Chain A
Amino acid sequence: MAHRTPLAKVRGLGSAREGTGHFWRQRVTAVSNLFLVCFLIFLVVKLAGQDHATVRAALAHPLYAIPILLLVISGVVHMRLGMQTIIEDYVHSEGRKVAALMRNSFFAIAVGLTCAFAVAKLSFGS
């Protein structure tokens, strides 16, 4: 006991037994989103109203494609955690809560994969 750090006390706590994992991932992705969302705004303003060929060429460029992929991953993780908190706050019946948490994960993964697939197809596909 003498050598236990405060960290050991919080590991594995919480209703999902994941300790501070949720809180910390929310913060890490919040910080990465700060930078990546600024990039997204720059990208959308730059490409708004441009024709398909221009947009396609821009999105396929690694300098754009990689930050978009980073944004998608960071954003989707962040929003899934946030919606999980909202569900846990407002949905009290166990069955409906579990179903809502599942839908939350399905939605986040579906959106993330759709975006990632689109960027991959723009970069590598014909």
Chain B
Amino acid sequence: MSHSKPVERPLSPHLGIYRMQINMVMSIVHRITGSALYFGTVLLAAWLISAALGPDAFAFVNGLFAHPLGKFVLFGYSWALLHHMLGGIRHLIWDTGRAMSPRASDALGWLTIIGSVTLTGLLWLVALSQRGGI
């Protein structure tokens, strides 16, 4: 392999040239929510390990989750989880070769975002109502 001087070639159009479309937004959000879930697994690990360590550690971690900021993070995490899950279902549908037309894939994109917001709202309604609100 000789390392010759790279030739200046025309580049293919990249993100900057396209109009925003639901599919590209959902693709980006899928990646962002995936990354958030990745780091958010620390929350699950903290919850489990604190429960294993004893009442004091458990109360400490629960206190962090009950703090408004902690609750905000949990809310965001639950939305990211549901959004990534619905987005994943969309990808599994595409894997079978279905819903590949622009119309169908746009519809799936909108269903993903509408579904994730709706489900997150419902989830928190159920969670808060069963505890009488916090």
Q: Which residues of A contact B (CB under 8 A)?
A: 27, 30-31, 33-34, 37, 40-41, 44-45, 48-49, 52-53, 55-56, 59, 68, 72, 75-76, 79, 82-83, 86, 107, 111, 114-115, 117-119, 121-122, 125
Known contacts A111-B42, A122-B51: does B85 contact A27 (CB below 8 Å)?
A: no
Tell whether, in the assembled complex, residue B52 and residue A121 are in contact, meaning their CB atoms are under 8 Å apart.
yes
Q: A30 touches which one: B37, B41, B92 (CB < 8 A)? A: B92
Count of chain B residues with Cβ under 8 Å from any Cβ of A?
A: 31
Contact A34 B89 (CB under 8 A): yes
Question: How many whole Å from A107's CB to the nearest CB in chain B?
Answer: 8
Pair B38/A83 contact, Cβ less than 8 Å: yes
Whether the Cβ atoms of B52 and A125 lie closer than 8 Å is yes
State in angstroms the CA–CA spacing of A53 and B59 once bound together: 11
Rounded to whole Å, the gap between the CB of A45 and the closest CB of chain B is 5
